[in-house]
Amino acid sequence: MPRTKQRTPELRDRLLRCAIATLEADGLTALTVRRVATDARTSAPALYELFGDRAGLVGAIFSEGFRRLTTALEVSPETDDPLHDLRDCIAAFRTFARANPVLAEVMFSRPFADFEPGRDELAAARRTRALIVRRVRRCLEAGALTGDAIDISHVLFALARGLAVQENAGLLGSGGAERDRRWRLAVDATLAGLDRPPG
């Protein structure tokens, strides 16, 4: 099949899908412009035209990861128990990170030296955080937590990110029950510390 030379949104989407598939199949070191272009049945110049360079491609992967994470968190329903809903949101975060370990590494560990998130990438991350902020605000309104919604959201987001990185690296325990217990311990202790005024 001849390689397409059309620089279309469809080609951009195909390159992005191929890049993520490459990461999932063969890890971070496999992500090269030549490999992704070949897998997408196009040329390296087409990739450069659409993404600028490899860092631009990584930025698109970063943003797509947060788009998928936002979708995963939105699936978690809101009920009459806002604290339960916040825990569900954190659990959905963990499920996403476990199902997408390499994508999560790109999003949370910054493994590519040539990539620094810019305005668009950071906006994608903020949209995800906004969902957590909403859940936290509901807890504050219900009196289940005390403090500033933005501060608490940053703490919980950082906690979940750190736990996910540890778990995906195999550093949170060897068994599922052990890992579950440590997630529960961290989340419970943090939320318990946030249900009373500072000091």
Domain-located, residue 101: yes
State pTM to two decimals: 0.87
Q: Specify whether 9 is located in the same domain as 74.
A: no
Report the chain's mean pLDDT, rounded to a whole number. Answer: 92
Q: Specify whether 112 is located in the same domain as 68.
A: yes
Instruction: Give the pLDDT band (50/70/90) at residue 95.
Output: very high
pLDDT at site 5: 52
CA atoms within a 13 Å half-sphere pointing along the CA-CB vector of 199: 0
Cα 91 from Cα 10, distance rounded (Å): 33
17 exposed, middle or buried (CB, 10 Å; 0-12, 13-18, 19+)? middle
Give how far the C-alpha of residue 61 lies from the chain's centroid of Cα atoms, to the nearest Å. 10
pLDDT at site 4: 46
Residue after which a domain boundary falls, among 9, 32, 52: 52
pLDDT at site 103: 93
pLDDT in tens, 108-153: 888 999 899 999 999 999 999 999 999 999 999 999 999 999 999 9
Domain-located, residue 177: yes
Q: Specify whether 72 is located in the same domain as 126.
A: yes
Q: Which of 50-54, 80-84, 195-199 comes out lowest in average pLDDT?
A: 195-199
- The residue whose two tokens read 């992500």 is 31
Contact 37, 46 (CB under 8 A): yes
Domain-located, residue 109: yes
Q: Specify whether 28 is located in the same domain as 67.
A: no
Tell me: pLDDT of 198 over 70: no
pLDDT in tens, 2-27: 554 567 899 999 999 999 999 999 99
Q: Specify whether 125 is located in the same domain as 184.
A: yes
Q: Specify whether 7 is located in the same domain as 25.
A: yes
Mean of pLDDT values over 34-46: 95
Domain-located, residue 18: yes
Cα 135 from Cα 153, distance rounded (Å): 9
The parent domain of residue 70 ranges over 62-193
